[in-house]
A and B are shown apart, each in its own frame.
Chain A
Amino acid sequence: MIPPTRWLPMPILSVLLLVVWLLLQHSVALGQWLLGGVLAIAIPLVCRPFWERQPTIKRPWRLFLYVLRVLGDIVTANLQVSKLILDPRGRMRPAFVEYPLTLKENFPITILASTITMTPGTVSAHLRLDGRTLLIHALDVSDINELIDEIHQRYERPLMEIFES
């Protein structure tokens, strides 16, 4: 990890901006490198006041595994939702579930909420930061406690290991 300095407050964001610029321009000419480099330094400096403190990624390898797992779950989720929508009898058991959060920082909570929305049968609806709960709407759930337990084991614990350890 590159430590943040005065001219590079967010190194990861800068690298990301440069890569996205080169991919968008679809060329690796010297001029594009220079222009992308200037933008990658200028944009973080300009929008620095809007950003919160960035979390540190403790275990990048685990993050990669997490992304792979979520991609697999997205496909499963889609097949499941398609089956529910196409089911002619249309028997669903929708429920509002209150999920108690154990994560502390904002960025991991954001990732968790997005993951919950993209994965089987659930959409995160409302985040209450005062009570530290996440309100989830589930499309078809038989046991609410089982769902909470599954989300905790499958998604929240890896995120805690990645960001907070």
Chain B
Amino acid sequence: MLESLLEGVIAFMLIAGGAFAFIGSLGLTHLKDFYMRLHGPSKTTTLGVGCTLIGSMIYFSLHDGPVVQEFLITIFVFITAPVSAHMLAKSALHHKLKPDASTRGNPEELESEKPKHTVEESPQGNSPLP
């Protein structure tokens, strides 16, 4: 009884994990601009991979004693995913990628700045090479 209930839980975890990861990649493929595409992988794929790992952890714990390494991988993935999403967003802002036209708000990082020196008034004089 308990065995078949746990098997149901494992099967649910595997399918939910796969479905979440697939939806995340679908979002990565068909959303309009980079900042929207960032949402799919950073949230959905993380939970998908986490679900799969937990399911596999339950399966191996059921068969031969408690297994905890996969829990470590899950914690690691959940801690690092927001950090890499933040770094990717920062580098996109640095590259001044254009957001979709319907985006409200205009952060100062995205405003195009004028070049500070032209060739004529640069400290090196007329030569563009230093």
Contacts and interface: CB of A to CB of B under 8 A. Distances in A.
Nearest to B109: A126
A103 interface: no
Contact of A26 (B68, B102, B105): B68
Interface residues of B, number: 42
Interface stretch (B6-14, B32-40, B120-128): B32-40
Given A123-B35, A125-B90, A96 B43 contact: no
B68 A96 contact: no
Nearest to A119: B43
Interface stretch (A41-49, A79-87, A157-165): A79-87
Interface string B86-110: 1001100100000110111111010
B82 A94 contact: no
B38 to A, nearest CB: 5
B69 A114 contact: no
- Best-surrounded residue of B79, B85, B99 (most CB of chain A within 10 A): B85
A34 interface: no
A96 B20 contact: no
Contact of B109 (A26, A77, A124, A135): A135
A123 B89 contact: yes
Contacts of A82: 20, 23, 44
A83 to B, nearest CB: 9
A86 B27 CA distance: 8
A78 B102 contact: no
Interface string B33-54: 1011011101110110000000
A118 B99 contact: no
Interface residues of A, number: 34
A23 B82 contact: no
A13 B86 CA distance: 24
Contact of B44 (A78, A94, A98, A144): A78
B62 interface: no
B36 A139 contact: yes
Interface in A98-133: 98, 113-115, 117-118, 121, 123-127
A20 B69 CA distance: 9
A94 B107 contact: no
Nearest to A117: B82
B26 interface: yes
Interface of B: 20, 23-24, 26-27, 30-31, 33, 35-36, 38-40, 42-44, 46-47, 67-69, 71-72, 78-79, 81-83, 85-86, 89-90, 93, 99-100, 102-107, 109
6 contacts: A20-B72, A117-B82, A123-B89, A124-B82, A127-B86, A135-B109
